[in-house]
Chains A and B, each alone.
Chain A
Amino acid sequence: MSEQKIDGFELKPGFKGMASDTGSDQTMFKGVHWGKAMMWIFLLSDTFVFSCFLISYMKGRGSTIVDWPNTSEVFSLYVGGVPVPLLLIAIMTFVLITSSGTMALAVKYGYEKNRKMCGWLILATAVGGLTFVGMQVFEWSKLIHEGVRPWGNPFGASQFGSFFFMITGFHGFHVSIGVIFLFIYTYKVFAGHYESKKRGWFTKMKGDYVEIEILGLYWHFVDLVWVFIFAFFYLW
């Protein structure tokens, strides 16, 4: 690993580097934007939120008196009269993971100051997220039509509906917030706010392409959480 310097401070690799960064003045994470550090710590906190949800789910599922519904039946779609388990979820997951890819590319083009490409890729990410939310709405309405409610369902333990709607709802809420911000940033990038150093509407602060990376961190996190929800709800 090549050694780098920031303002006369030598960045060493490995554990030694971590120790010397920690022992230094001014910043702990050298060269890391405030907002980026904030997003990482927020995500750590949010990880605890989702962990609490998923651990509660495991505990709840483990201790119900009625059997848990057979998830590969409940979540299957009928294609030409044949039940295909996990079909919808596979598509949803694919769309969401793809949107993570476009987000990563948007970050890359953003740092290259390629405004147009960056904007289009954020827009693509937003559309991907919106598609995901749309499919989630479809799935919810399908389950509700089949009689699944937060307080009970015809397939088994009532906690199935409770945990399903709560946790996927909380995740869908995260995705929706992300989509709203993706659209806002699409506008900001296309309008060239980062080039003209236009101040933010609320915060009155000047922006930078690092904001795209911060948004990207959030988006990747939401995708990662989905992988866990997918594993715990649909594969278990």
Chain B
Amino acid sequence: MSDEYDNNKSYQAQSSEVMDGSTGSVNPDIDYVRPAEVGEQDLYHGHSFIEKWVFCQDAKVIGVQYFLTAVFTGIVGLILSWLMRLQLGFPELAGFMTAEHYYQFVTMHGMIMVVYFLTALFLGGFGNYLIPLMVGARDMVFPYVNMLSFWMFFVAVAVLMASFFVPGGPTGAGWTLYPPQTILEGTPGSGMGILLMLISLSLFVIGFTMGGLNYMITILQARTRGMTLMRMPLTVWGIFTATVLAMLAFPALLVSAIMMTLDKVLQTSFFMPTILKAGEVLEYGGGSPILFQHLFWFFGHPEVYIVALPAFGIVSDLISVHARKNIFGYRMMVWAIVGIGALSFFVWAHHMYVSGMNPWFGFFFATTTLIIAVPTAMKVYNWILTLWRGNIRINTVMLWCLGFIVTFVNGGITGIFLGNVSVDVPLSDTYFVIAHFHMVMGIAPLMVIMGAVYHWFPLVAGKMLHEGLGKWHFWITFLGAYSIYFPMHYLGFIGVPRRYFEMYDSPYMTSAVGMNEFISIAAFIVGAAQFILVFNIIKTLKTGKKAEQNPWKANSLEWYTSTVPPKHGNFGERLPVVHRWPYDFSVPGAKDDFIPQTTAPSEVIHTEVEKT
């Protein structure tokens, strides 16, 4: 290929869509967009402080509320991980910690990070803030229900945190809450702790359902004029598909939580087999613990993609904007997101290879699991091809995106190991598993969150975060995260089991001790480095330089509001009209290197824009 883009044809024949449509009536006005189908949204503007900032119905405020609450739980989860690493690396310094404490920290760290931190942050935080802005709506379609959604989440978090202070402490059954031991005496927190956990999860599901209905209907039914599904930013596609997954997967969690609550409170035996305890037969009998595992993982596996898909979507937008190039294979990206979402419902039992299933069952789930690698790999190729010959700006946002790609590929490859039954069985419940899922669904989505915070902070707060601090934050986190999780792969290979409070005199001790100390030190540093961001945000809010409107020269609608930060109602007098996708960057012949979605075709008639 020559250096000059002389072959214009490659730019023209990308889309299979025909502008005129199949009706046969050729419209002479190329700027024509159909009139609005739905009238202006009836918005309720709050009057008092409470209505404006506490029980607020504006999706942007709700998004920030979700974000801050989720970050609070995330910090609790981070502190718990520090305590765990303190015990593993330097047990002599952690004399206050018993084995029970350790299990409780493991459990709460897992549940908090997966459900209350990542899910709430991506869907509740970014979803609420970005969906209405990006599709060109005034607000979510049901602002009141949206407000209830946040407060339900808030109560769920409060109930969860309350379990730290009840007699017996929080549950220590592992975040998967496998019965029967979860509710049996001897497991830490088998009294009030597990009960509060189950109640909190149920409340979370109810609250999320309220929010999820809002996200879905806003995207399906409240887009602005000209905004077709295939002109939506991939962020919206990612959040939309994740919401669909959540609406279909959370029911299984709700049902298993209800059934386990009844097992606990009313001595039913849904999940409880006949149990001998100290020579005595307990009241339970005839239930199926495996049933819980199926229900839990029917929720649990889509949950992984509920966290991952918004990250995929957001990172696609960030890479495109900061590499000044259109996203490579937009439609392929969309279908990959949808395909991953659909496939994620058929892989759940790969978490149960050691549960004693029929071998053919394992074979089936290994096959579906490996098939998921296909759309996922397509996405990775497309991100790299988006960067290829792009006008890449190595700023903080781009660093986080690049960090994400590398980390995600890393975690994805170990996923292919674990997806195969025969490889998984010896690696099951070792540190290899911990390294895998922290890389793929912990660190990788977290990198996207960080990138997204640096990217959208100027929109939310109207000020630019400090770049230098951002780069320090990135490099410490990136190198530190690898220092934590790379050695864990090795620990897993030599067979160090996970969730063990102590290794005692096991043969792993000699090689694992030094490594555990190293990992722990890295974990302390990485955790502390996150407070650079907190410091950066506080400093920026106080003394940061004011952001111009659309500082990154992006195309999507959220940067084209009447005010920055946007007010309630998002856009000014009139809603924007969309004429193109949000990825018209570096278009040959165009005046600037970006063409906003609102630019009419007649204004860029002599450029090589794609038809979208």
Contact = CB atoms under 8 A, between A and B. Distances in A.
Given A44-B247, A52-B251, A204-B44, A151 B291 contact: no
B35 A25 contact: no
A66 B228 contact: no
A85 interface: no
A184 interface: no
A151 B38 CA distance: 53
Interface string A46-84: 101101110010011001111000000000000000000
Contact of A29 (B36, B221, B267): B221
Contact of A6 (B37, B250, B274): B37
Contacts of A29: 220-221
A51 B251 CA distance: 9
A151 B606 CA distance: 76
A45 B230 contact: no
Contacts of A27: 37-38, 220-223
Contact of A162 (B251, B256, B270, B288): B270
B209 interface: yes
B226 interface: yes
A205 interface: yes
Contacts of A49: 251, 254-255
Contact of B36 (A7, A34, A44, A204): A7
Contacts of B225: 25-26
Given A23-B229, A27-B220, A42 B37 contact: no
B283 interface: yes
Contact of B213 (A38, A59, A151): A38
B266 interface: yes
Nearest to B221: A27
Interface in A4-26: 6-10, 20, 22-26
B528 interface: no
Contacts of B220: 27-29, 37
Contacts of B266: 150-151, 162
Interface residues of B, number: 57
A91 interface: no
Contact of A60 (B145, B252, B262, B270): B270
A83 to B, nearest CB: 27
A197 to B, nearest CB: 11
A166 B37 contact: no
Interface string B53-96: 00000000000000000000000000000000000000000000
A205 B286 contact: no
Contact of B252 (A8, A48, A66, A158): A48
Given A22-B229, A44-B247, A162-B268, A38 B141 contact: yes
Contact of B262 (A42, A157, A162): A162
Most buried by B among A25, A30, A34, A56: A25
A156 B38 CA distance: 58
B42 A25 contact: no
Contacts of B142: 34-35, 38, 203
Most buried by B among A23, A151, A202: A151
B251 A45 contact: yes
Given A37-B221, A48-B252, A60-B287, A158 B269 contact: yes
Contacts of A174: none
A207 B221 CA distance: 18
B34 A26 contact: yes
A60 B288 contact: yes
A159 interface: yes
Most buried by A among B22, B145, B269, B298: B269
B411 to A, nearest CB: 29
A27 B135 CA distance: 11
A48 B209 contact: no
B295 interface: yes
A53 B255 contact: yes
Given A8-B35, A23-B229, A28 B221 contact: yes
B216 interface: yes
A87 interface: no
Contacts of B141: 34, 38
A204 B42 CA distance: 9
A25 B254 contact: no
Interface string B240-251: 000000011011
A59 B286 contact: no
B259 interface: yes
Interface in A133-160: 150-151, 157-159
Given A60-B287, A159-B269, A41 B247 contact: yes
Contacts of A28: 220-221, 229
Given A8-B35, A56-B259, A150-B268, A42 B209 contact: yes
Contacts of A64: 286
Most buried by A among B220, B224, B230: B220
A204 B57 CA distance: 11
Contact of A26 (B38, B42, B256): B38
A188 B562 CA distance: 39
B295 A25 contact: no
A24 B228 contact: yes
A46 B209 CA distance: 10
Contact of A38 (B217, B227, B267): B217
Nearest to B274: A65
Contacts of A8: 34-35
Given A150-B268, A159-B270, A166-B262, A25 B291 contact: no
B175 interface: no
A32 interface: yes
B144 A205 contact: yes
B144 A203 contact: yes
A56 B255 contact: yes
Interface string B119-161: 0000000000000000000000110110000000000000000
A22 B34 CA distance: 15
B526 interface: no
B42 A205 contact: yes
Nearest to A47: B251
Contact of A23 (B230, B268, B298): B230
Contacts of B267: 150-151
Given A26-B37, A34-B142, A204-B144, A45 B223 contact: no
Contacts of B274: 65
Contacts of A32: 221
B195 interface: no
17 contacts: A7-B35, A10-B23, A23-B228, A25-B223, A27-B37, A27-B221, A28-B220, A34-B141, A38-B142, A38-B217, A45-B251, A51-B251, A63-B288, A157-B286, A159-B270, A166-B259, A205-B144
Interface of A: 6-10, 20, 22-32, 34-35, 37-38, 41-42, 44-46, 48-49, 51-53, 56, 59-60, 63-66, 150-151, 157-159, 161-163, 166, 170, 202-206
Given A8-B35, A45-B250, 4 more contacts: A27-B222, A56-B255, A159-B268, A170-B258
3 closest cross-chain pairs (CB), A and B? A48-B251, A162-B268, A52-B255
